[in-house]
Structure 1
Amino acid sequence: MRNVSVADVSSYLAATGWVRQPEGWRGAAVWVHEGDHEILVPGADYLADGPRRLKETLSLLARVEGRSVEDIASDISSPMADVQWYRAPIVPMDGEFGLVDAVTALNSAHAALSAAARAALDGPRPVFDGTAPKAVRDLLARVWIGPIVPSADLLTVRIPLDGENSGDPPLARRTLTLLQRATLLLREASAEVRRTGDISVFDDTVRDGVSADLCVALARFAGTDPGTRFEVGFRWARALPSEVPARTVVFEAETGTLLRRVAHRLRRLHRESASVTGLIGTLFDNGGEDRFRVHVRGEVAIGDGEPRGSIWVRLPDEAAYDVAVEAHRNRTLVRAAGTLKDVNGRRELIATSFHTVVDDRSEES
């Protein structure tokens, strides 16, 4: 409470639906909420009745919002922090944390943010290997947990938006926006699997930031019981509003087990994935079943394996083949990405994406 200022209280009330009245009362501002509640905010900090007014304000807000006084006070005093929270079997209950659960929950919250931040910074991938970039490590170093209070059953994670120079919007906001979208897609895909049994629906979620790392982190919040549901919530800093609505994502029973299966699948896809950037040396289309293939020489990356210098690429359709013909004629660099497949004893890249690349090297070649 010592960190809560009059200005912060006023900005919080304005952002949460309270309306300031034209007339004050003995120097205090009068705020009303839907005509049923009234709050008096002192005209300045450190007035004699300031602490009493502040306690009254926080108590009323706690009743109106159904949240703890401590949680609301933290929100008021941190206008430039986005908030993520978890309600799950392994988070605090009645203000207490089991040691194993505490370690698991904090590590999982850290892993989920790290996976989302790496996807927001460097682009989505099915698996993130190696040490996180410095910008991600710096972001995680500024995150804090809490408050943990007896009246709440949440693990609250606060991500400051200030103190970084990593773009507009800042990396912290891009991270949490991506994480919210990824959790929504995971929930939708989980519901689809329950209807159809087809786990491959998760494959397309990778381009939106889903990774094996994120799936494992979220799965841990289900606890040791695979049938336990859990929730992930998001709120945006009031000093930096977002056009993306804040959401609460509820994962139904047995989602934890499913997400572990998805993580295993994404790791396998990662091992079987490949991409190539280079020049087309050979075009092949026999007009029959063996169509739309090109041989590309350049920089080939194959999953976790050693790089190669060339590979046959099977293009997705005739339109992509037309692009390849033009690129071959003009000596233009191309990039293809997809999965590996053995075809007639030869390792080929089955492209899911294919496009030309603007690069000065094409002229030099």
Structure 2
Amino acid sequence: MADLGVGAVSSYLSGAGWTRSEQTWNGAAIWTNGAQEVLVPPRDGLGDSAARLKDLLRALEGFESRPADEIARDIAYPLLDTTSYRAPAVSQPDGFVRLESGLEALQGLHDLFRIAAQTVLRSQHFAAGSDALVTELLSGIHLGTTTSQQFSVTLLVPLGDETSAAQPPPGRRVLAELYGAAAAVRRSVARPASPGIDSLPESVSPGFCTALSTLAAPDGSFELGFRWARGLPSPLPDGVMGFPPGSGPALRDLSEELRGDQDEQLPVVAAASRDLAGPVSILGRVEALHDNEIGTDRWRVKVRGALRAENRPLTRRVLWVRLPGQAAYDEALSAHRNHQQVQIDGLWTAEDTHRVRIIADPDGLRILENP
């Protein structure tokens, strides 16, 4: 167990919602959280400090319903984000898995972090020397395992000494990217009537889904846990993201669907999309629609048809288009149901994170009569 100082313990209790009482007991500070109380030694180096801190950890273990060693680590290292992986253990003896399964799961976790790191660190902000930054970040992540009724792995992500919520360090940005991408994939595979790849942000790649699939137990289930460093608050919640039984095959199917979607568009992207900018128009049929009412991903439609751009030859494309609002979305839905052609005028974009390539003009949608 990590060596704990009184200052670190007091900082942890304060951040966790405890309040120091004005009263003391045999010199120890009394901290309260509603009806609960714990004692903290008055200073480091006293003869009974270690015993009192062990008592405090045992009390917190009961209050927080998590192991004392985990609480002690959070106290001692306030700038470590944590992600964990668990899957049912099916081999004997308890707490062990087959070597091949364990290696495959560890490789999957490594690939998840590598892909998330490449997505974040190859962005414009970190473009210079991004490959070296990816290698450095991966080499700094720590791996721990536990023996229980589950195969469990815990990874610790260092955030550095100087941190800022306005400009989070690379480790936090990478783990947040992993969290967001995994959450989007989980939503896609957990619902029988989910829209599949049409609901995923563009950052989710076939490789990311394949890496997730390697984590699945024989029944296809697994969990990813996230706990954010107390020294750098995060808007994302602590908690466990559960992938239900059957998720393994569903993730592999999703990966193949994404790969097929990329293969379909790749030759055209290389030939027709390089340096494409400015006003464009697409004429064709609506193949799919997506509207996330509780997020920022609103009013998307996928159109297969002819793309026209200034000074460019006409090309056949399958593109996501962002409509200006609910009225236009309802019109596109009607056109989809009635198998009508649409023409959408707008601006080309390569910046949208939800696979969108055209931002429609306010009055850019027209429904055409079928020939």
* TM-score (norm. length: structure 1): 0.70
**Candidates 221, 227, 239, aligned match of 2:215:** 221
Q: Which residue of 2 aligns with 1:303?
A: none
Change in CA separation of 1:270 and 1:91 when aligned onto 2, cut-off 3 Å: farther
- How far does the alpha carbon of each residue in 1:300-338 deviate from its partner, in whole angstroms, 9 at most, with x for none? xxxxxxxxxx883658675535x5xxxxxxxxxx66699
Distance 1:240 1:280, change over 3 A: closer
Gaps of 5+ in 1: 124-130, 298-309, 324-333, 339-350, 356-365
1:100 to 1:153, Cα distance in 2 relative to 1, 3 A:
closer
Asked if the contact 1:90–1:221 (Cα under 8 Å) also holds between the matched residues in 2, the reply is no
Cα distance in 1 between the residues matched to 2:278 and 2:7: 66
1:65 deviates by: 2.1
| Corresponding letter in the other structure for 2:197 | F
What is aligned with 1:294? 309
Hey, what does 2:177 align to over in structure 1?
178
Cα displacement (A) at 1:34? 2.9
- For the residues of structure 2 that align with 1:65 and 1:286, how far apart are their CA atoms? 58
- Give the conservation status (yes or no) of the 8 Å contact 2:306–2:316: no
2:357 alignment partner in structure 1: 353
Residue 347 of structure 1 aligns with which residue?
A: none
Shift of 1:83: 0.8
Give the whole-Å Cα distance in 2 for the aligned partners of 1:88 and 1:40. 37
Q: Deviations over 1:232-284 (max 9, x none)?
A: 11111000011222232111110111001111222222223343233689999
Given the superposition, is the C-alpha separation of residues 154 and 72 from structure 1 closer, same or farther in structure 2, using an over 3 Å criterion? farther
Partner of 2:315: 312
Aligned partner of residue 83 in structure 2, secondary structure: strand
Counterpart amino acid of 2:39?
L
Other-structure match for 1:134: 132
> d(CA) in 2 for partners of 1:281 and 1:229?
46
Describe the superposition over 1:195-246 as per-residue Cα deviations: whole angstroms up to 9, x where unpaired.
x3x6x52243132x322222122212212x2x34221111110000112222
Per the alignment, residue 22 of structure 1 pairs with 22
Counterpart for residue 101 of structure 1:
101
Q: Which residue pairs with 1:205 in the alignment? A: 200
Q: Verify the 8 A CA contact 2:197 2:257 in the aligned structure 1.
A: no
Q: CA 1:263/1:281 → structure 2, altered by over 3 Å: closer, same or farther? A: closer
More strand by share: 2
- Are 1:236 and 2:231 counterparts? no
Partner of residue 264, structure 1: 256
Tell whether 2:239 aligns with 1:247.
yes
1:148-178 CA deviation, whole Å, 9 max, x = no partner?
Answer: 2558863211111115899811121122222
Instruction: Tell me the CA shift for residue 69 of structure 1.
Output: 2.1
Is the CA contact (8 Å cut-off) linking 1:190 and 1:255 kept in structure 2? Answer: yes
Q: How much does 1:76 deviate?
A: 1.8
Stretch moving more, 6-15 or 142-151: 142-151
User: Could you tell me how far apart the structure 1 residues matched to 2:113 and 2:48 are?
Assistant: 41
* Separation in 1, partners of 2:49, 2:278: 77
Measure, in 2, the Cα distance between the counterparts of 1:47 and 1:60: 20
Unaligned stretches of 5+ residues in structure 2: 124-128, 285-303, 322-341, 360-371
Q: CA deviation at 1:183?
A: 2.1
Q: How many residues align?
A: 306
Tell me the residue number matched to 2:79: 80
Which residue pairs with 1:112 in the alignment?
Answer: 112
1:348 corresponds in structure 2 to none
Q: How well do the aligned residues superpose, as a CA RMSD in angstroms?
A: 3.9
Percent of aligned pairs with the same amino acid: 33
Q: Is contact 2:82-2:154 (8 Å) kept?
A: yes
Q: Is the 8 A contact 1:281 1:296 kept in 2?
A: no
| Paired residues of 2:184 and 2:201 also in contact (CA < 8 A) | no
Residue 313 of structure 1 contacts residue 336 of structure 1 at CA under 8 Å; is this kept in 2?
Answer: no
State the distance in 1 between where 2:73 and 2:145 align. Answer: 7
Q: TM-score, normalised by structure 2?
A: 0.69
Which whole-Å CA distance do the structure 2 matches of 1:84 and 1:279 have between them?
Answer: 40
Matches within 5 A, 1:158-169: 158-162=156-160, 168-169=167-168
Distance 1:285 1:29 in 2: 70
Give the residue type in structure 2 aligned to 1:25: W
